[in-house]
Structure 1
Amino acid sequence: MRPPSLLPLFGFLGLSCALSTAPDNESVKNANHIFNVIQDSMRQWGSSLHHNGVSFFLAGVPAGTQFYHGTSKASPVNGTEWLAFEPEHAMVFARPRRGPPPHLPLDDPDTERHGGGHGELRKREHHEKDEKHHGPPGGRPPKGSDENEAGYLHTYAAAKDLRLLYLDGMSAAKSSKGTLDSQDAVLFNDLLDDHPNPGGQESERAKLACEMAQNEWEGRIDGVLRMEAGFEVILCDFERDLIPLRITQVKQSSEEHHGPRGNSKNGDWDGPRKEGGDKHHDGYGARKENDGGKRHGPGGPGGPGAPRHGGPGNGPDTSRWMRAITARYNGIGGNRVSLNFNDFVTAFSHDVELFEDNSTLPRLVNLSNEERASIRAEVTDLVMTHHPAELCENWQAITDMIVTRYSKELSYFVSGNIDSIERLQSEIERVLSPFIDYSERDDVAEIERCATQFLPSASFESGGIAARAVYSVAHRICSSLVEAGKWQDLESAVRVIRDLVGYLDWATWKECRGCAVNEICVVPIWPMGTIQDYDSPQCKDAANPYDQDGESYWGGMHL
């Protein structure tokens, strides 16, 4: 059983898919983790704290949704590349290419490949002969060379409703903590293990994912949806699935005068993000005036050979970027992404050991080949037999109601602000009073009324994993409150609730309170952040969100 990890213990999709009979509460393995998978999905905050995703969802993106891509190139993209949901995310990489990444010596045999040689995935062509990509509507790309001293922000729109495979957690983070397990260990069956730095093999991941989509999944998936410092899509066919809207030149950053940097994330798949294990290295990994001329090593800040601090620095790019992505802490917004919460795949539902050696982080690399193959086969069945837009209960909205009702109450009960058992019993009764029939007290009935408060009356007929997990968690909350209310000493009663809080492990308990208008709540988002940022997120000046004090949360990324 996983021990508490996140919590300082003191301190959509439509209508019904079909409670005639509540499921057996005890039969739901890892119900708390499955609840959090549902609660955190497509949310930057919860996915940053529960960053090791082990679940797979079908995701839909409606036609017309705008995406962004930053690069050194002024011509539209063909083939396989990445897209950001927020323009500020893409703008970080709208910069010129200048030589090999800083972590590679000039005589490195892989320099040509890293610098955008034959390993580049982007199939750039002369679009003058291509009517579909003759240029963005309403204007042409800037005249002259395809590259200049600044970079370009590309804006595209989805040409159709996109079908994507969403990998939960921070699955685009190139770390050694397990963020890549769902891809490398499960989907790709350890095919990247022979590379000296498998964490940096983003081009290979894109190629393998798109080969699976086309061959094994018969073209039913258009790309992969992941999260790091912002949500992004690895889209397999730009020309087929996107409409170019505009290509604009961004303002040249003064940082560009500080010396050569590596390739940008968007310009090349084989730039620093891929082979160096840190796609942000190019934007922030160059030497600074006050760092003694030291370069960050592979893996970016906090990686091997790099200073052990919590981020790649500050400045206008970091501030703009972080303001944008932290605005998505509680969701991507605008119905830009819909998830099928009724039918999804999670390793938490399998009879496997995900928390070896008392770990607080689930890992998939420790599973046997047969166990991984079973999960992979379930993913294939999901893709081949279900659809992102299937009507079902909005289980995330239901988890929201449960968290909203109980999060503050449970925090209060373990805060130390209640000084007597009589006071605690009174507060617990206040919370449970809507479910009590004072003419005939019945613990079992009261717990059941409490546990099913937010559950649709016909939601359990299919026996889906979401319904069973959400009910199980709600039942645990209500039964623990009833139990705590029966103790006659304060310490024992609080211990029951504290155990409940540790079991629930809700990300809401780490949210900052009362940030000023010029501040953001800082949590580690790869490759930025410190251990302190994870243990106790704080409000920090948005202009300098990562002050680099403290040990990097991500540590040396020895992949």
Structure 2
Amino acid sequence: MRILSAFSTFSTALAVRSQTQVPLSTPGSVLSAETAREWSTPPSSYETGQWIFHAVSGHMRHWPSILYRNGHSIIPGTIAPGTLLYHGRPESSRPPPGPEWVSFDPEHSYLFGRSIYTYIVEEEPLKILYFDGSSASNMKTGTIDTQEILLHGEIQEGGWIDEYNRLKELCEWGREFGLQGFVRMEFDFEVMLCDFQRGVRHVSSLDLLPREDCLQPDCDDQPDGPWPEPPIPHGWKGSLSDVASVAFEAIQAGNWHNRAPGVNGLTLDYSGMVSFFDPKYTSLARARDGVDRKRWRVGNITTEDVKLFRSELQDVLTRGEKGSGVKWDAVVRSVVERYAGRLEFLSDWLGDDTNNSTYSIKYARRAVLTMLAPYLAVTSIPLDHKTNTTWLDPAIHYCSTTVTAHLPVHQFTLQEHRIGGAVETVMREFCRTVGSIWIDAFDAEELQDETERRHLLTKWKANVDGLMAWLGWTEWVKCKPACKQYEMCSLPQWPFDMRVMDPEPEISYTPKCMSRIEQDLGGPQ
């Protein structure tokens, strides 16, 4: 919906695995010297497994999609029968005659008009394609790159994108594959629905209350969007909602989807996830070198890599292969849920200089032990823990591979091999970092020298912060200090917090506390 119209060595191994379907690591296997010591090597600067992992973690979730606005994934999916969808129109004339936008939340649609048409997905799931990131934010900074590359093979020059033409183009392109719509995110999730006569049924039409802003004496001097509000309903008493409060509720609706599972009724098929983080897109790997993560763009792709992308997407949308059935989003989420809070606590704890150093060492050591405990057998007790660290090899190996070791690899699609490799990449670096701290921490409680204790705390802090920066999980981006009562923490939203017509608008990635009482949204400028 519109406002105002609106890898490294591991990567090489993964590529080989993708072609030959070599099984992922198995905890019960015998450790070779090479495998055992592999964990001591940090990942290459060109590694992208953590970003494939992060993409899976953030799909269908509002918060990650706002923080990393420029999407890098295209995934087929379905919207389940019984899912309600809403379309807002400025006047009560008739339902949308052709391709149009619907939202998963009526608060979103209400912002676009007081006439709300409600639809329900009928007996068969709707077949959709999902573009991740803020792919409905009509900006020229990379948010719509994946759509441009899919349709045109390059980024079109010019200013404002004609979204109605974009919808028509996507629906025409998707007809060959039986696609019925496209899911994107603006400040809330939307569906670009191709046909209101197929797959959905109209269940209600309601003319809702007008907004108050255009009921004032000087309304003519205060533009209220592209359409006028009707008069006050007969018999109404008291104030009405104003445009700012209606917009706030739409933003709040988007924030309801900050966490898993994201959007109810929407399911993504990860066996067909096409990722522009795949190392085979070498032009994008070069273009990312030295550039801040939030500014990475799919639009930097070369013609040769566009051909690779289109071939992969064509295969995903036409093949009969169904994949393994592994719930990759749940696999990834289990890792994030288990470790995000623990790593954040450890970083904060190690950075608190007000604590007694002996006390800090003790509880930091306990935090690390807690994370490694499921993999530390009674045999993982060294005689000489610093000069020969092979005693920790089995624990690090099990820690790195347990999540993926027993999955049905023989049923994986190429795309699932890529995701499985990404999970192993993340677990390997997590376990490598925590393991290196554990080597120091094993007998650290016996240290008597204050300088030595402080040195270890500083070293561990750097290790943990480095890991967190490499992972880039959005669970660590929050309002600090926490918002007060009657406030909501939200990331800056397009188009409310930036000049939407600027070709390169200034984008803030710092969450802010928004009042639930007095809304100041900045407004589309």
1:373 aligns with 307
Structure 1 runs of 4+ aligned residues shifted over 6 Å read 22-28, 530-533
Say which of 159, 167, 172 aligns to 1:211: 172
Residue 224, structure 1, aligned to residue 182, structure 2:
yes
Give how far 1:254 is off: 2.0
Contact 1:186 1:373 in 2 (8 A): no
Deviation string, structure 1 residues 446-492 (Cα, Å, up to 9, x no partner):
11222244446224443621111112101110111111233473322
Give per-residue Cα distances to partners, 1:55-89, cap 9 Å, x unaligned. Answer: 11111112231100000243122321111110010
Cα distance in 1 between the residues matched to 2:339 and 2:393: 20
> Which residue does 1:509 correspond to in 2?
476
Q: Distance in 2 between matches of 1:436 and 1:213?
A: 51
Deviation at 1:535, TM superposition (A): 4.4
Alpha-carbon deviations, 1:274-299, whole Å to 9, x = none? xxxxxxxx99xxxxxxxxxxxxxxxx
1:335 is displaced (CA, Å) by 4.2
Selected match of 1:443 from 353, 378, 392: 392
1:213–1:379 Cα change, 3 Å: same
Are 1:542 and 2:516 an aligned pair? yes
Q: What is the CA deviation profile of residues 67-125 of structure 1, one whole-angstrom value per residue up to 9, with x for unaligned ones?
A: 0000024312232111111001000011xxxxxxxxxxxxxxxxxxxxxxxxxxxxxxx
Q: Secondary structure at the match of 1:324?
A: helix
Residue 456 of structure 2: aligned partner: 489
Structure 1 partner of 2:450:
none
- DSSP 3-state at the match of 2:311: helix
Q: Of residues 352, 358, 372 in structure 2, which corresponds to 1:417?
A: 352
Instruction: Quote the offset at 1:167 in angstroms.
Output: 0.3
Structure-to-structure mapping, 1:393-472, within 5 angstroms: 393-415=326-348, 416-417=351-352, 420=357, 422-423=361-362, 424-441=364-381, 442-455=391-404, 457-461=406-410, 462=412, 464-472=417-425
Matches within 5 A, 1:87-98: 87-94=106-113
CA deviations on 1:105-147 (whole Å, 9 max, x unpaired) are xxxxxxxxxxxxxxxxxxxxxxxxxxxxxxxxxxxxxxxxxxx
Q: Distance in 2 between matches of 1:380 and 1:181?
A: 18
2:161 aligns with 200
Of the structure 1 ranges 425-434 and 321-330, higher mean CA displacement relative to structure 2 is found in: 425-434
Per-residue deviation, 1:356: 4.7
Select the residue among 51, 76, 87 that pairs with 1:69: 87
CA distance 1:403–1:314, change in 2 (3 Å): farther
Question: Whose radius of gyration is greater, 1 or 2?
Answer: 2
Paired amino acid for 1:46: P
Deviates more, 1:473-482 or 1:376-385: 376-385
Name which of structure 1's ranges 368-377 and 351-360 shifts more when overlaid on structure 2. Answer: 351-360
**Kindly tell me: are residues 320 and 248 of structure 1, through their superposed partners in 2, closer, same or farther at Cα, counting changes over 3 Å?**
same
Trace 1:95-494 onto structure 2 (pairs within 5 A). 151-159=114-122, 160-190=124-154, 192-193=156-157, 196-197=158-159, 199-214=160-175, 218-257=176-215, 258-259=219-220, 261=224, 263=226, 315-331=244-260, 335-349=264-278, 350-351=281-282, 352-353=284-285, 354-360=287-293, 361-385=295-319, 392-415=325-348, 416-417=351-352, 420=357, 422-423=361-362, 424-441=364-381, 442-455=391-404, 457-461=406-410, 462=412, 464-487=417-440, 489-494=456-461
Is the contact between residue 155 and residue 299 of structure 2 (CA under 8 Å) also seen in structure 1?
A: no
CA contact (8 A) 1:520 1:545 kept: no
1:390 CA displacement? 6.0
Offset at residue 505 of structure 1 (A): 0.4
Q: Within 2, Cα distance between the matches of 1:358 and 1:252? A: 46
Could you tell me which residue of structure 1 aligns to residue 451 of structure 2? none
Count of equivalent residues: 426
* Structure 1 residue matching 2:466: 3-state secondary structure: helix
Distance 1:411 1:529 in 2: 29
Per the TM alignment, residue 211 of structure 1 is displaced from its structure 2 partner at its CA by 1.4
Which sections of structure 2, spanning at least 5 residues, go unmatched? 1-6, 8-22, 28-34, 230-241, 382-390, 441-454, 499-504
The CA deviation at 1:188 is 2.7
Cα drift, residue 413 of structure 1: 2.4
Q: C-alpha distance in 2, partners of 1:333/1:427?
A: 30
Q: For 1:376-414, what per-residue CA distance to the aligned partner results, in whole angstroms no more than 9, with x for missing partners? A: 222222111268x86621121222221122112212222
Q: Distance in 2 between matches of 1:535 and 1:189?
A: 29
Q: Which residue of structure 2 lines up, in the alignment, with residue 116 of structure 1?
A: none
1:499 pairs with 463, 466, 469, which one?
A: 466
In the alignment, the residues of structure 1 paired with residue 203 and residue 177 of structure 2 have an alpha-carbon distance, to the nearest angstrom, of: 25
**Counterpart contact for 1:58–1:166, Cα < 8 Å:** yes
Q: Distance in 1 between matches of 2:173 and 2:60?
A: 23
Residue of structure 1 in register with 2:57 after alignment: 39
TM-score w.r.t. the length of structure 1 is: 0.69
Deviation string, structure 1 residues 222-255 (Cα, Å, up to 9, x no partner): 1111001111111111122321111110111122
Give 1:432 shift: 1.3
Which amino acid letter does the alignment assign opposite residue 246 of structure 1?
A: S
Which residue identity lines up with residue 381 of structure 1 in the other structure?
A: D
Note the aligned Cα RMSD (angstroms): 3.2
When residues 504 and 545 of structure 1 are mapped into structure 2, their CA distance, relative to the original with a 3 A threshold, is farther
Structure with greater proportional helix content? 2
Q: Distance in 2 between matches of 1:332 and 1:396?
A: 9
Q: 1:501 to 1:20 in 2, by over 3 A?
A: closer
Tell me the CA shift for residue 425 of structure 1. Answer: 3.5
Distance (Å, rounded) in 1 between the aligned partners of 2:506 and 2:97: 42
Q: Report the Cα offset of residue 533 of structure 1.
A: 9.3
CA separation of 1:66 and 1:236: change in aligned 2, threshold 3 A: same
Partners in 2 of 1:238 and 1:162 — Cα distance? Answer: 11
RCO higher in 1 or 2 (8 Å CA, sep ≥ 6)?
1
| Fraction of identical pairs, as percent | 25
